[in-house]
Structure 1
Amino acid sequence: MATLRRLGEVPRHLLVCEKSNFGHEKSRHRHLVETHCHNYRVSFLIPECGILPKELKDLVMATGPYYFVKNLPLHELITYEFINTFVKKGSCYALTYNTNIDEDNTVALLPNGKLILSLDKDTYEETGLQGRPSQYSGRKAMKFIVSIDLMDLSFNPDSKTYERTCWSFKEKNPLKFDFLLAWHHTGAEEATMMSYFSKYQIQEHQPKVVLRTLKDLQCPGLQSSELEGQPEAACSAGQLFDWLGAVFCNVDLNNEPDSFISTYCCPQPSTVVAKAYLCTITGFILPEKILGLLEHLHYFDEPKLAPWVTLSVQGFADSPVSWRENEHGFRKGGEHLYNFVIFNNQDYWLQMAVGANDHCPP
């Protein structure tokens, strides 16, 4: 009976799958990528590939930079100068670092100018700002969500809303956090985050890139037409998701009878490819950079032998949002991620996964 109780406590995980084509006018691939803002890791796998094409490698190496600012006062993100310099002139992203969503105060800035605060009860009451109870609070609300629209026309230095928010962050409760920051913009560069935040401890970082050639990799045989709503197709999509996780984690997939570490094996039917290329990028990675990789992967000319490729993206477990402004919770999981399976006829499968309590992906 004890075993049954433990099994019953396994957290719920939700995997949503859909099929489309990049050329279809109603394809959601761009919107899906653009609205998943805070990305920690991007991985792509190309079967029948031993060397990464130069154009794709150049894109991989250009996924940075991003910035780490230590003890940055929250009020710096709502100054009129910051809004005009970065928020209104591109896509600006920020996320608190080394904060736990289930027990700490966390903050995220979205490219649409929304500043999302997930605050504990005491901090929320001290700020005096309007918000709502977290959907994960239960009967007694212990966490609250505050959304501040930095692009709102009423949010200007002369408005009462702006004055009250500034007073709250600068005087009433001067919150400080370690932040990850990044800015995507077009046109001439008039300012840089390094110079703008020079009075604070700021560091520029480039994402960490790991390139690997996998030999004799057993890959599932996939056909784009398989994902059409049949029960077995959904199961196939779930098995593929598990298999990719095993490959990314370098799990032995031989299923040897004397193995005490892993008895997992590749879904069937399968085939062994002589070489496969795996690239993993880790850091604070912007949706615009991911879109560039996705566009190149579904138009790539080489290697011509690859029947499909995959692009997988993992969000930060402790981000207060997952997609768009959907509240994200941790509890026992914290995952929110998506995966594209890209076929050479421009069809794709899109798989989106979240953990316990999160809303269904968009």
Structure 2
Amino acid sequence: MGAGGRAVNRLTQLEPSTVVNDHVAKIRNLAGLATPMALRVAVTLGLPDRLRGDGATVGQVAADLGVAPVPLELLLGHLTSLGIVERTSTGYRTTDFGATLYSDAGNGLTNFLHLDMAGGRAEMAFAELLHSVTTGEPGYTRRFGQDFWTDLAQQPHLRASFDEQMTHRFREQIPGLVAGFDWGRFTTIVDVGGGHGSLLAAILVAHDSLRGHLVDLDPTATEAVRTFAAHQVEDRAQVTASSFFDPLPAGADAYLLCDILHDWDDRDAHRILARCVEACAPAGRILVIEALGGRQDNTEFDLAMLAIFGGRERRVDEFRDLASAHGLVLQSTVALTDQRNLLEFRLAQGS
């Protein structure tokens, strides 16, 4: 074999190591924490907003924020490499790309990233993912010393940011949730843990013979009153400030649980369903709206449910087993949007 053949062989021998190095680089990029934490710290400090327009010097920003200038410049250097900010002759300023992180951008990113808002704080539970995977318990509790819901109850600003996050998350989904199911079959619906009431208000607007009753904790319940007034359905919408672990308003045709059960482990999910069955009329329905495991679930979101709440996106058979313990029969499953299904349950002795 000539020299050319030997060269080909040498190249062939080099290829596996090249592939391995490429894989190592990709995994390092996937696993690195510097960038996700830099973005979170930048949003928490308000850097994108502070560096609007002409921007500012490191010294000016450090003085404004009460932080050390040298570490701040290290952070800004990395944000520059990401295209979030850019250097100018007088310091740093936010780029058009970085403007996506403005607090008033209306895209939900501030809540998702800010370390002192519900979404960003909850994401830190991933630091305890090993604990969650090995025990099935929420990492949030291990990290912060109490569960997510207790944290919200004790810190009003977290509760407010969580409610805002949920309202934003549902904004684009609501038309599909309303149009994809025959809500007009019912005369009364109790929205269990219904948040600010955006979904129930939209259902009531679409069906003027329907009456609704929302149950949630204060101050969320107070905001729901305002939502119903803004949609001019307050005469057909009642609000009760209460936990869904307590007795629910009795005798309604349907009890709606929208994105509720995935926040809880099986023990607490059973407690919630038991309250719904206890209150439901004999021919009533329990309506569960969630992503379905194996269909619409997102693997990253699944891990978030585990780490934050100890919950998960359940599969149809898991919902069926969960409900059957309360004498509930799965009547139908309807895909409302690309992200959520509605599971309709009836009492076994009902019609």
Shorter-chain TM range is: under 0.3
TM-score between the two structures when normalised by the length of structure 1: 0.24
The structure with the largest alpha-carbon Rg is 2
TM-score between the two structures when normalised by the length of structure 2: 0.24
Structure with bigger strand share is: 1
Structure with bigger helix share is: 2
Higher relative contact order (CA 8 A, sep 6+): 1
